[in-house]
Amino acid sequence: MEKSIKRYWPVFVLPTMVAFVIGFIVPFVEGIYLSFCEFTTIKDAEFVGVKNYIAAFQDANFLGAFKFTTVFAIVTLIFVNVLAFLVALALTQNLKGKDIFRTVFFMPNLIGGIVLGYVWQLIFDAIFQKFDTALKLDETLGFWGLVILVCWQQVGYMMIIYIAGLQAIPVDIMEAAMIDGATKTQRLFKITIPNMMPAITICTFLTITNSFKLFDQNLALTGGEPLHKTEMVALNIYDTFYGRVGFEGIGQAKAVVFFIVVVAIGLLQLKVTQEKEVQQ
């Protein structure tokens, strides 16, 4: 069996490879090429050099969106992971009905972003109406509205990963620590968390990239109002692409810049957290 796999691996790899090339490599390379072009449809692209990149960096809204997105990513990184970890801890204790609670916490993740955005907009605005304001009028409200929405949606997903991590910690280490007289806090910080590092790596990676790429929720909840102050990078790119005649190339250039930034941050974060992982 092993032998034939060795001999025929190209046959097995080919279908996936073809799909990967068609679905990813080709559009990706074409996308980078288009960021140096002026075009209406992708067929009649005309090469213009770095002009698009210059225009992209001159756009104050784009830089503002980057700032907003960064702050948002940091805040959600902390909130989502801390909450998810706490919920995971609670739901690995001997609680009655913990399976039901796990399901309940996970469910918001199954709802699409646009729907979530509109539902939360209704909820928030019904509340803000009492205080004579609205979500789209105040950037601070918009920011925290987005944070709450994203926490609500993603805590359940990260919780599942943390639960898996918690359950993988060998019981004997815990018992040994208890016998040695470690307190609950000591056990959490000296044993549980170090042993959880692989799960933490994955969860922080997912939350950071998710927050950077956030689009539907942003579009549906605040739409960037008021005056672009709650606009995130993905939404800014979308608006650039479709908002003006002849700006397709600039939108494309912004998308490439955005891609590089997200990849760089993702890799950096992976490196930092992976260094902290321990061998069991």
Window contacting other proteins (CB under 8 A); options: 153-161, 209-217, 237-245, 264-272: 237-245
Q: H/E element holding 44?
A: none
- Rama region for 93: left / alpha / beta (φ>0; ψ in -120 to 50; rest): beta
Using rule CB under 8 A, residue 139 touches other proteins: no
Residue 279, interface with other proteins (CB under 8 A)? no
What are the tokens at 250?
């600039």
For other proteins, the binding residue among 3, 6, 44, 130 (CB under 8 A) is 44
Nearest to 195 by CA among 187, 185, 203, 184: 187
- Residue with tokens 């929720």, as numbered in its chain: 217
| CB distance 51 to 119 below 8 Å | no
Q: Does the footprint of other proteins cover residue 57 (CB under 8 A)?
A: no
Residue 86 or 137: which CB sits closer to other proteins? 137
Q: What is the CA radius of gyration of the chain?
A: 23
Binding part of the chain for other proteins, among 36-44, 91-99, 160-168, 187-195 by CB under 8 A, reads: 36-44
Q: Which stretch binds other proteins (CB under 8 A): 65-73, 74-82, 126-134, 162-170?
A: 126-134
Is residue 93 a contact residue for other proteins (CB under 8 A)? no
Single-letter amino acid, residue 151? C
Nearest approach, Cβ of 72 to other proteins (angstroms)?
A: 20
Question: Which residue(s) pair with 38 in the sheet?
Answer: 46
Nearest to 150 by CA among 228, 90, 69, 227: 69
SS3 content of the chain, % helix, strand, coil (to 5): 80, 0, 20
Q: Does 166 bind other proteins (CB under 8 A)?
A: no
My answer on whether omega of the bond before 198 falls inside 30° of 0, hence cis, is: no
Chain CA centroid to CA 86, Å: 20
- Taken as a whole, the chain contains a residue count of 280
Q: Which helix (H) or strand (E) covers residue 184, if one does?
A: helix 184-187
Tell me how far, at minimum, the Cβ of 228 lies from other proteins, in Å.
Answer: 7
Q: Is 19 in the site for other proteins (CB under 8 A)?
A: yes
Does 90 participate in binding other proteins (rule CB under 8 A)?
no
- 63, 89, 114, 134: residue in contact with other proteins (rule CB under 8 A): 134
Q: Give yes or no for residue 112 binding other proteins (CB under 8 A).
A: no
Q: Given the rule CB under 8 A, which of 131-139, 148-156, 195-203, 269-277 is the region that contacts other proteins?
A: 131-139
Cα 40 to chain centroid distance, Å, stands at 30
Chosen residue from 137, 176, 178, 278 binding other proteins by CB under 8 A: 137
Q: Is 239 in the site for other proteins (CB under 8 A)?
A: yes
Shortest distance, position 66 Cβ to other proteins, whole Å: 19
Largest Cα–Cα separation, the chain: 73
Options 103, 133, 183, 186; binder of other proteins; rule CB under 8 A: 133
Contacting residue, 2, 3, 6, 41, with other proteins by CB under 8 A:
41
Contact residues toward other proteins (CB under 8 A) are 4, 8, 11-12, 14-15, 18-19, 40-44, 55, 121, 125, 129, 132-137, 223, 225-228, 239, 242-248
